Amino acid sequence: MALPETSPAIPPDKQVTEVPQVPEVPVTVQNAGVQVISVEPKPLVNSSSTPLDKPFPLPPDDTKSLNVPVADQEALTQMAKGNPSDSQTWFGVYWLRKIKKALLDGFYIFFGKGK
């Protein structure tokens, strides 16, 4: 039985150091007229000019996405628990199964009206 290889310890002079957020500009460069300007990112706003808490990630054009025609997954779960003779029950079961497969395949999933 072979023992796992151990990596050698990193010498103290090769350890990772923290990089400062604001770059240090030498005095000679500052005398030439170069200045450091710190820029704060602006918050994202929607079309009605209200700020968004979290930006909604949109997939790039070349990735796969799944558009589910229901408002949220809880609505699908409630549909799937219905009467087996009702078509909405099978609609909910179908989309829940499709969502699980899409998650395994790395799809982006969007609820509500599609593109």
Whether 51 shows a pLDDT value over 80: the answer reads no
Give the domain range for residue 69.
65-111
3-state helix, strand, coil in the chain (%, to 5): 30, 10, 60
In a domain, 43, yes or no: no
Higher pLDDT, 2 or 21: 21
Residue 23 sits at the vertex; the CA angle it makes with 35 and 26, to the nearest 5 degrees, is 60
In a domain, 77, yes or no: yes
**Would you state the structure tokens that stand for residue 27, as one six-digit string?**
């005095």
| Average pLDDT of the chain, as a whole number | 78
In a domain, 59, yes or no: no
In a domain, 74, yes or no: yes
Q: What is the pLDDT of residue 60?
A: 63
Candidates 63, 48, 77, 65; CA nearest to 114 is 65
In a domain, 88, yes or no: yes
In a domain, 79, yes or no: yes
In a domain, 44, yes or no: no
Q: What is the pLDDT of residue 99?
A: 93
Whether 115 shows a pLDDT value over 60: the answer reads no
In a domain, 53, yes or no: no
Helix and strand counts by DSSP (H, E) for the chain: 3, 2
pTM: 0.45
User: What is the total count of domains within the chain?
Assistant: 1
Instruction: Compute the distance between CA of residue 115 and CA of residue 112 in angstroms, rounded to an integer.
Output: 10
